[in-house]
């Protein structure tokens, strides 16, 4: 057997093994390059996996040679290949900047542990996405969650511990709900393999147990996904976490929640059950739109810009939820594409915050005064990523919105399309507020500010450029999302 | 009336799990003391363990080890699953306690209202 | 003669030239003379390129180029048709003139950040070219949004709190309407018809019910905020905080004309005349356009600030073109298209004069202009010419476009609209002519210097050229009309 066949296992094993090794390296100057290397290898593997999926179709990999139902199998179809690419790509882009970025926020002694926990969190997310076994999904979910709580708690502000604690309580409730749901499905089907579950569930429509299981998983994933109104943990966690952690989570963590929703709704339970029997569209669309409005409105009033971005995430997650709820081909493409695209934009925006915090110590409206002249590249990135958030053509935001509205119109829901557009207009306000302060206010004279260092600036620039690149060349995102939607049984 | 009774007694374990689940959730939501919240969370998770173990029960089944004369065995898989879940729960609890220690150091209190009062500054 | 490149590329080159100019401008920012030289050179090359495209079209070639394919089934493509060609000719020619003017104005007025000014100016022109040559609605939308964003730094050039507030209004209305209405309309069109191409006779015909088509028409007309149809006209007066060359070229020509150009395109090639005539919403919108014409003229009369008055006059004149588009017949289309050119020449003259008055006499209010005609006779003579052209009196170009629009209104049997246009002409006289009369016939205030003092020569040269344009458009309107007429005999149509 060649190594190529074992790529699915290596995808998770590399960061998993690298994590404890990092913990053993006392000096951060050694642990950091090691963590960077591990994340790059992980990214390379996910690129290779994407290539395999696109050429040979879905990959099924049985762990240790045990075929299901005895063993755990990893299943990689276009949907999770895209998510793997997003998660590992974000890690690979952000990890090099981590050293400088956390320098001001995390103590020297804790830095190697930071890398350890970050790699574990990466492992967990990759595991959730790649696995084809429902219980295994729960285990990886807890790995990623526990390490996320720890990462959030590493923020410099004392409120970070409180934010992490609240995140832990709500996150654990969410994960436990998913566990209950999986247990109930197991009770009825006798299998934990998701493909087998999907097979056997088709005969079980109308069962109250399955309906309860669906509800538990929906709520649990909704909490993990920070879907309005279960988003309470997110703003504090993202605000007080170290900035690079916010960047990584903002780009990936909630996206994994979206993945769980999509996988269970369309694949395990099946669209027919979810939409015709449970009417999930009537839950997801109103809540999604409400989240879009509430998130954007609250974002407008924030003074702390990391918190503003967190609320903006609540809004963007609302779009994804609504898109999932549309239940047609274009809607599902919109959901998948927006998960990917929003990852790029939010990653870029949070990295801008990291640059600003590195130079000024905080990222509130006053610290942005006059930054347009003093940190021109950083602010340039903010403007581009911000325009993308608004959904200006030639940016990724436009592509997402295009499919979202097309999906809404296709489902015959004109009012939904109108509401989506109205709420997205609110993003103009909260983005432009910052742009105005940065370019039209005079900087306070007493502070000297330089452009951010290259180690942070380059990742920011890469993500910003990707925001435009994937807005013009959409073959990877929309193309793969289309394949994913088709493979989930949702045809145009 | 008796039908309701049998319905309840037949699903006694599930009812127990549901009651524990609700108790745990109630404690998490209403208690301001962070330690009590963690205890509530533990009760909440324990309910799920109970539910899982009840799934593995097979009528007249013996413990799933090879025994002389045993004709059927209980399903061991849920037990294994729940061992993992217990480990997760222990990890969660320890992390939560560690966070509480840090909160105590930072704020000098582990009562939620006092932390809020102490200034979210 | 050199062999021409594939005509499709010419359109892309036309968009690229200003962008190349941007690089040049940025590289030579330390030497203002060289920088402005590059601006002028880019303008001249651009104009020549557009002329070349016109020649290629004349030779019967189709100018079409596919740039990208970002969404399945839709392309970013450039196609030149006669209306777009006319718009591009007007915008590129006036860019040269405005650059000449801006050199004198910006230096005479000691503006700061001149490099930023020339840079974004060039970007805005590139976007205007993109709009003119768009091959489908998505391409048009892309450039439309880019134009909004690239002109934002120009509007807020002064950086004062007032400019910031104006910038907020500008961006809020333009982005709000385009994302809020136009994008829904575009996606709706695509969902209903599966295409966004501009086709003669429209693409909606036969695909939609009249109710849906009416909603789409409303979304389109209001989605093009740049056309300044009331009640979404506030951004245009707000944008007057910008330096005068910006007001002149962008907010009398490129930006606002991009708006009405879009309306004309949508009316003719998305809806098609037949469908438009059947819709009852068309009549409602005609009423709204008529209301805007009258109301904006009335508001203009109350404004004492010269640029504000001109801005409301623009709002009113833009609705002429919207009205012309909604008449949905050939004469209306010709009139609307021609009005893009004639109003551009007239209004840019007026703005140039306003700027010249500001630079030379530091006056912005109309009530302060008493007797200035003796100090700046050339400027006020030009102002009179511009006014007459806008009013539509011979011997100036404004006559023909108004004539054609009236013709269209008669052809559509809308006598009411004929009345509106006549009333509006009277209002034009009432708010424009008092300005030069006041300057020439009222005495100078006590103690004011009475010797001749005109604006810098480059400003005057630009004003002279645009006055000449007004006259030439009266004497030789045929080339423009013939160009537009080609839309209907198939030769220039996409």
Q: What is the full DSSP assignment across C295-341?
A: HHHHHHHH--BHHHHHHHHHHHHHHHHHHHHHH-SHHHHHHHHHHHH
For domain B2-117, the question of CATH label 2.40.110.10 is answered with no
Using the Cβ of B82 and the Cβ atoms of chain A, whether some distance falls under 8 Å is answered with no
Which residues, at least 6 apart from A103, have a Cβ–Cβ distance to it below 8 Å?
Answer: A358
3-class SS of residue C195? coil
Quickly count: other Cβ atoms within 10 Å of residue C159's Cβ. 16
Calculate the alpha carbon distances from A132 to A196, A268, A340, C461 in Å: 10, 10, 21, 75
Counting Cα atoms < 13 Å in the Cβ hemisphere of C56 gives 23
CA distance C203 to C411: 24
CA distance A342 to A90: 12
Minimal Cα–Cα distance from A403 to chain C, Å?
9
Give, in degrees to the nearest 5, the angle at Cα B20 between B16 and B24.
175
Per-residue pLDDT of chain C (494 residues; tens, 9 = 90+): 455 557 778 888 888 888 888 888 888 878 878 888 888 888 888 888 888 888 887 777 777 777 777 776 678 888 888 888 888 888 888 888 888 888 887 777 777 777 888 888 888 888 988 898 888 888 889 889 888 888 888 888 877 888 888 888 888 888 888 888 888 888 888 888 888 888 877 888 777 888 888 888 888 988 888 888 888 888 888 888 888 888 887 777 888 888 889 988 888 888 888 888 888 888 888 889 999 999 999 998 888 888 888 889 989 988 988 888 888 888 888 888 888 888 888 888 888 888 888 888 888 888 888 888 888 888 888 888 889 888 888 788 888 888 888 888 888 888 888 888 888 888 988 888 888 888 888 887 777 777 777 777 888 888 888 888 888 888 888 888 887 877 776 533 33
**Contact (CB<8Å) B34/A165:** yes
Inside any domain, residue C2? no
- The pTM for the full model equals 0.84
| Chain C residues 310-349 within an 8 A CB cutoff of chain A | none
Judged against a pLDDT cut of 50, whether residue A482 lies above it is answered with yes
Minimal Cα–Cα distance from B96 to chain A, Å?
6
| CB < 8 Å to C183, chain A | 391, 401, 405, 421
Minimal Cα–Cα distance from C341 to chain A, Å?
29
pLDDT-derived band at A191, boundaries 50, 70, 90: confident
> What integer is the mean pLDDT of A191-220?
89
CA dihedral C353, C359, C365, C371 (to 10 degrees): -70
CA distance B104 to B110: 6
> What integer is the mean pLDDT of A62-74?
82
Per the CB < 8 A criterion, the answer to whether A261 and A281 are in contact is no
- Flag whether C touches B (3+ CB pairs, 8 A cutoff): no
Using the Cβ of C187 and the Cβ atoms of chain A, whether some distance falls under 8 Å is answered with yes
Using the Cβ of A150 and the Cβ atoms of chain B, whether some distance falls under 8 Å is answered with yes
> What integer is the mean pLDDT of A309-333?
92
CA distance A176 to A187: 16
Calculate the alpha carbon distances from A407 to A66, C44, C184 in Å: 41, 46, 12
Reported as a single tens digit per residue, the pLDDT across A401-431 is: 889 988 998 888 888 888 988 888 888 888 8
Among A415, A419, A421, A443, the residue to mutate for chain C (most C Cβ within 10 A): A421
Give, in degrees to the nearest 5, the angle at Cα A475 between A473 and A476.
105
Quickly count: other Cβ atoms within 10 Å of residue C488's Cβ. 16
Calculate the alpha carbon distances from C57 to A95, C7, C492 in Å: 55, 9, 7
Per the CB < 8 A criterion, the answer to whether A178 and A138 are in contact is yes
Three-state SS letters, A355-406: HHHHHHCCCECHHHCCHHHHCHHHHHHHHHHHHHHHCCCCCHHHHHHHHHHH
ipTM, interface predicted TM-score of the complex: 0.92
Q: How large is the angle between the packed helices C398-411 and C377-391, nearest 10 degrees?
A: 10
Please, what is the average pLDDT of chain C?
A: 84
CA distance C9 to C83: 19
CA distance A290 to A307: 19
Q: Which of A50, A61, A35, A56 is nearest to A84 (CA)?
A: A50
Using the Cβ of B22 and the Cβ atoms of chain A, whether some distance falls under 8 Å is answered with no
Reported as a single tens digit per residue, the pLDDT across B1-34 is: 678 888 778 788 888 899 999 999 999 989 889 9
**Contact (CB<8Å) B84/A139:** yes
CA distance A323 to A411: 11
Query: Which pLDDT score, from 0 to 100, does residue A41 have?
Result: 93
Written as six digits, the tokens of A57 are 């179709």
> What integer is the mean pLDDT of A114-131?
92
Query: What count of residues does chain B have?
Result: 121
In percent, the amount of chain A with pLDDT more than 70 equals: 98
**Contact (CB<8Å) C187/A392:** no
Among A328, A333, A398, A469, the residue to mutate for chain C (most C Cβ within 10 A): A398
Per the CB < 8 A criterion, the answer to whether A25 and A112 are in contact is yes
Q: Which of A372, A375, A370, A348 is nearest to A359 (CA)?
A: A375
CA distance C107 to C243: 12
Q: According to DSSP H, which parts of B1-121 are helical?
A: 2-10, 12-30, 34-56, 77-107, 112-117
The string of DSSP letters for A208-245 reads HHHHHHHHHHHHHHHHHTT-TTS-THHHHHHHHS-HHH
Cα Rg of chain B, angstroms? 20
User: Searching chain A, which residue's CA lies closest to the CA of residue B97?
Assistant: A165
Strand ranges inside C230-287, DSSP E:
none
Inside any domain, residue C166? yes
CA distance A210 to A99: 47
Written as six digits, the tokens of A487 are 């493979």
Neighbours of chain B (3+ CB pairs under 8 A): A
Provide the b/e sequence for A124-136 (b: ≥16 CB within 10 Å).
bbbbbbbbbbbbb
Using the Cβ of A399 and the Cβ atoms of chain C, whether some distance falls under 8 Å is answered with yes
Written as six digits, the tokens of C64 are 């079409």
Residue contacts between A and B (CB atoms, under 8 Å): 65
User: Searching chain A, which residue's CA lies closest to the CA of residue B81?
Assistant: A135
CA distance B2 to B8: 10
**Contact (CB<8Å) A421/C138:** no
Domains of chain B by residue range: 2-117
| CB < 8 Å to A152, chain B | none
Calculate the alpha carbon distances from C127 to C141, C266, C321, C419 in Å: 11, 18, 21, 37
User: Searching chain B, which residue's CA lies closest to the CA of residue A168?
Assistant: B96
Q: Which of A264, A130, A260 is nearest to A197 (CA)?
A: A264
pLDDT-derived band at B41, boundaries 50, 70, 90: very high
CA distance A33 to A111: 12
Sign of CA dihedral C57, C61, C67, C70: positive
Domain of residue C241, residue span: 7-489
Please count the structural domains in chain C.
1
Quickly count helices (H) and strands (E) in chain C: 22, 2
CA distance A298 to A320: 19
Reported as a single tens digit per residue, the pLDDT across A298-316 is: 999 888 899 999 999 999 9
Cα Rg of chain C, angstroms? 21
Per the CB < 8 A criterion, the answer to whether C76 and C142 are in contact is yes
Reported as a single tens digit per residue, the pLDDT across B51-65 is: 888 888 877 777 777
> What integer is the mean pLDDT of A72-81?
90
Q: How large is the angle between the packed helices A414-440 and C183-193, nearest 10 degrees?
A: 140
Per the CB < 8 A criterion, the answer to whether C439 and C356 are in contact is no
Per the CB < 8 A criterion, the answer to whether C36 and C99 are in contact is yes
| CB < 8 Å to B41, chain A | 169, 172-173
Inside any domain, residue C1? no
CA distance A72 to A61: 9
CA distance A182 to A133: 10
Cross-strand bridge partners of residue C305: C365
Calculate the alpha carbon distances from C457 to C105, C372, C379 in Å: 10, 18, 11
Per the CB < 8 A criterion, the answer to whether A128 and A137 are in contact is yes
CA distance A20 to A25: 9
The backbone torsions φ and ψ at residue C66, rounded to the nearest 5 degrees and listed phi first, read -100, 125
Q: How large is the angle between the packed helices A305-326 and A396-410, nearest 10 degrees?
A: 30
For strands A73-76 and C74-79, give the pairing. Answer: unpaired
CA distance A433 to C491: 49
Using the Cβ of A376 and the Cβ atoms of chain C, whether some distance falls under 8 Å is answered with no
User: Searching chain A, which residue's CA lies closest to the CA of residue C162?
Assistant: A440
User: Searching chain A, which residue's CA lies closest to the CA of residue B103?
Assistant: A161
């Amino acid at each position: 057997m060649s190594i190529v066949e074992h790529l699915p296992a290596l995808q998770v094993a590399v960061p998993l093994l690298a994590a404890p090794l990092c913990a053993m390296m006392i000096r951060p100057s050694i642990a950091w390059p090691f963590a960077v290397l591990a994340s790059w290898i992980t990214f390379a593997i996910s690129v290779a996996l994407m290539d395999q999926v696109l050429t040979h179709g879905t990959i099924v990999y049985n762990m240790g040679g045990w075929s299901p139902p005895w063993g755990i199998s990893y299943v990689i179809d276009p949907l999770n290949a895209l998510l793997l690419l997003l998660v590992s790509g974000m890690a690979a882009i952000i990890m090099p900047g981590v050293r400088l970025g956390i320098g001001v926020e995390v103590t020297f002694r804790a830095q190697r542990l930071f890398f350890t926990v970050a790699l574990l969190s990466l492992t967990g997310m990759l595991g959730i996405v790649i696995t084809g076994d429902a219980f295994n999904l729960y285990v990886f979910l807890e790995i990623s969650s526990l390490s996320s709580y720890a990462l959030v708690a590493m923020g410099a502000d004392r409120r970070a511990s409180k934010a992490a604690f609240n995140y832990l309580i709500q996150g654990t409730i969410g994960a436990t709900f998913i566990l209950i749901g999986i247990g109930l499905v197991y009770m009825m089907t006798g299998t934990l393999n998701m493909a087998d579950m999907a097979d056997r569930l088709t005969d079980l429509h109308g069962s109250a147990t399955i309906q309860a299981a669906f509800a538990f998983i929906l709520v649990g994933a909704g909490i993990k996904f920070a879907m309005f109104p279960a988003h309470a943990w997110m703003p504090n966690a993202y605000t007080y976490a170290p900035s690079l952690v916010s960047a990584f989570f903002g780009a990936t963590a909630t996206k994994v929640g979206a993945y769980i929703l999509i996988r269970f709704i369309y694949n395990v339970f099946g669209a027919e059950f979810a939409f015709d029997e449970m009417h999930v569209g009537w839950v997801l669309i109103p809540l999604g739109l409400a989240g879009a409005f509430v998130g954007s409105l609250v974002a407008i009033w924030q003074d702390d810009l990391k918190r503003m971005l967190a609320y903006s995430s609540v809004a963007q997650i609302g779009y994804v939820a609504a898109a999932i709820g549309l239940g047609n081909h274009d809607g599902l493409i919109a959901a998948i594409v927006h998960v990917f695209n929003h990852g790029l934009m939010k990653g870029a925006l949070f990295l801008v915050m990291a640059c600003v915090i590195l130079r000024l110590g905080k990222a509130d409206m006053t610290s942005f005064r006059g930054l347009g002249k003093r940190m021109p590249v950083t602010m340039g990135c903010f403007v581009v990523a911000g325009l993308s958030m608004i959904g200006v053509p030639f940016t990724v935001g436009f592509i997402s919105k295009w499919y979202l509205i097309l999906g809404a119109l296709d489902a015959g829901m004109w009012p939904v399309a109108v509401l989506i557009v109205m709420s997205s207009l609110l993003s103009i306000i909260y983005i432009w507020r910052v742009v105005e302060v940065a370019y039209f206010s005079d900087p306070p004279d007493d502070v000297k500010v330089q452009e951010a260092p290259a180690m942070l600036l380059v990742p920011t620039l890469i993500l910003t450029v990707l925001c435009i690149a994937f807005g013009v060349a959409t073959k990877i995102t929309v193309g793969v999302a289309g394949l994913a939607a088709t493979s989930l049984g949702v045809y145009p | 009336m008796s039908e309701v009774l049998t319905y309840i007694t037949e699903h006694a374990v599930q009812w127990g799990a549901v009651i524990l689940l609700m108790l745990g959730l109630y404690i998490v939501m209403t208690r301001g003391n962070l330690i009590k919240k963690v205890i509530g969370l533990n009760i909440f998770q324990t309910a799920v363990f109970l539910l899982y173990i009840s799934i593995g029960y097979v009528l007249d089944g013996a413990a799933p080890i090879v025994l002389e004369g045993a004709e059927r065995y209980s399903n061991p898989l849920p037990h294994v699953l729940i061992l993992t879940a217990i480990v997760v729960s222990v990890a969660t609890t320890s992390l939560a306690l560690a966070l509480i220690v840090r909160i105590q150091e930072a704020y000098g209190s582990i009562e939620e209202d006092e932390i809020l009062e102490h200034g979210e500054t | 003669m050199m062999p021409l490149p594939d005509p499709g590329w010419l359109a892309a080159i036309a968009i690229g030239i200003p962008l190349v100019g941007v690089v040049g401008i940025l590289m030579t920012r330390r030497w203002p003379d060289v920088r402005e030289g590059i601006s002028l050179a880019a303008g001249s090359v651009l104009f020549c390129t557009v002329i070349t495209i016109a020649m290629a079209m004349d030779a019967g070639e189709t100018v079409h180029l596919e740039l990208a394919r970002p969404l399945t089934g839709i392309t970013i493509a450039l196609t030149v048709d006669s209306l777009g060609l006319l718009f591009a000719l007007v915008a590129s020619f006036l860019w040269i003139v405005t650059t000449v003017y801006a050199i004198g104005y910006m230096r005479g007025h000691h503006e700061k950040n001149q490099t930023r000014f020339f840079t974004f100016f060039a970007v805005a022109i590139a976007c205007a070219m993109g709009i003119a040559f768009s091959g489908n609605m998505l391409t048009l939308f892309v450039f439309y949004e880019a134009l909004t964003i690239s002109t934002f730094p120009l509007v807020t050039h002064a950086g004062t709190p007032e400019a910031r507030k104006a910038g907020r209004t500008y961006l809020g209305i333009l982005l709000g309407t385009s994302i809020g209405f136009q994008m829904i309309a575009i996606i709706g069109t695509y969902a209903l018809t599966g295409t966004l191409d501009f086709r003669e006779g429209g693409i909606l015909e036969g695909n939609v019910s009249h109710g849906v088509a009416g909603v789409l028409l409303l979304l389109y007309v209001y989605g093009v905020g740049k056309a300044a149809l009331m009640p979404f006209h506030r951004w245009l007066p707000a944008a007057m905080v910008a330096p005068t060359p910006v007001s002149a070229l962008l907010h009398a020509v490129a930006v606002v004309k991009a708006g009405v150009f879009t309306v004309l395109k949508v009316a003719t090639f998305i809806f098609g005349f037949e469908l438009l005539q059947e819709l009852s919403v068309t009549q409602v919108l005609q009423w709204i356009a008529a209301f805007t014409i009258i109301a904006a003229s009335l508001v203009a009369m109350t404004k004492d600030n010269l640029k504000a008055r001109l801005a409301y006059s623009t709002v009113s004149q833009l609705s002429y073109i919207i009205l012309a588009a909604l008449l949905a017949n050939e004469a209306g289309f010709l009139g609307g298209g021609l009005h893009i050119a004639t109003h551009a020449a007239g209004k840019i003259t007026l703005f140039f004069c306003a700027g010249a008055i500001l630079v030379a006499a530091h006056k912005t209010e109309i009530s302060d202009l008493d007797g200035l005609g003796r100090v700046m006779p050339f400027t006020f003579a030009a102002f009179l010419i511009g006014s007459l052209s806008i009013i539509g009196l011979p011997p100036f170009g404004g006559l023909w476009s108004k004539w054609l629009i009236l013709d269209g209104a008669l052809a559509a049997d809308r006598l009411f609209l004929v009345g509106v246009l006549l009333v509006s002409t009277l209002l034009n006289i009432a708010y424009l002519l008092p300005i030069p009369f006041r300057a020439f016939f009222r005495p100078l205030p006590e103690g004011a210097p009475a010797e001749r003092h005109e604006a810098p020569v480059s400003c005057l040269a630009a004003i002279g050229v645009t006055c000449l344009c007004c006259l030439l458009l009266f004497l030789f309107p045929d080339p423009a009309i013939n160009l537009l007429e080609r839309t209907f005999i198939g030769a220039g149509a996409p």
